[in-house]
Amino acid sequence: MGVTSERLKAFSDGVLAIIVTIMVLELKAPHGEDFPALLPLWPVFLAYVLSFIYVAIYWNNHHHLFAVVEKVNGAVLWANIHLLFWLSLLPFVTAWASESHFARDPVALYGLVLLGAAFAYYILVVVLLRAHEGETLLRRAIGKDFKGKISIVAYLAGMVGTCLSPWIGCLVYVGVAAMWLVPDRRIESRLGEV
């Protein structure tokens, strides 16, 4: 018997929990005793919040995606590991971007990691669709995946914008996160069909 979708979800949940733990460990207490002592930590906190939101978005979408998955094969396992690889880089790029006060190269690398994760998620969806041939609940739920495709283009634009100003890239990355915070009902609306 191979790996079930439940085991794959549990493993992925564990990896995402470790990623969040690593990121929160980067939040160091200030050396002062009053609220102004927190001011120098604003870049670290902002970068943490954005990265936490991204991990939450991926966890949420991964959870919903696998709610309609009927079978898992080796290609799905590798595609899932590929996604987790890119997400595991978030603590590193989050720390570098925040410690550099959002300098150009760290912000560009942050965008590259987001692009890698978005592309890996797209590959995971494609591999899952191939594993579920015919008119399946998964295929009906995924539809055209407009948000997934626009995210890839937006991350590329954010990386290019970072060459002009790192804040352009930051704004694009925040914008994409905001787009994904709007609930995506494609899969939830189809769960009643099971």
Domain residue ranges in the chain: 5-193
pLDDT at 1 over 50: no
Q: What is the pLDDT of residues 37-69, one digit of tens each?
A: 889 889 999 999 999 999 999 999 999 888 888
pTM of the model: 0.90
Tell me what the mean pLDDT of segment 17-40 comes to.
Answer: 91
pLDDT at 116 over 80: yes
Say which range, 45-59, 64-78, 89-103, 173-187, has the weakest mean pLDDT: 173-187
pLDDT at 10 over 50: yes
So what's the pLDDT on residue 187?
A: 63
Confidence of residue 191 (pLDDT cuts 50, 70, 90): low
Tell me what the mean pLDDT of segment 86-97 comes to.
Answer: 97
Measured CA to CA in angstroms, residue 94 lies from 19, 59, 139 at distances of 11, 18, 34
* Short-list 159, 176, 177, CA closest to 108: 159
Say which range, 1-5, 25-29, 99-103, 151-155, has the weakest mean pLDDT: 1-5
Burial pattern 99-122, b for ≥16 Cβ within 10 A else e, equals eeebeeebbbbbbbbbbbbbbbbb
pLDDT at 136 over 70: yes
So what's the pLDDT on residue 5?
A: 84
Q: How far apart are CA 69 and CA 129, in angstroms?
A: 9
* Short-list 78, 156, 176, 178, CA closest to 111: 156
Where does residue 62 rank: exposed (0-12), middle (13-18), buried (19+ CB within 10 A)? Answer: buried
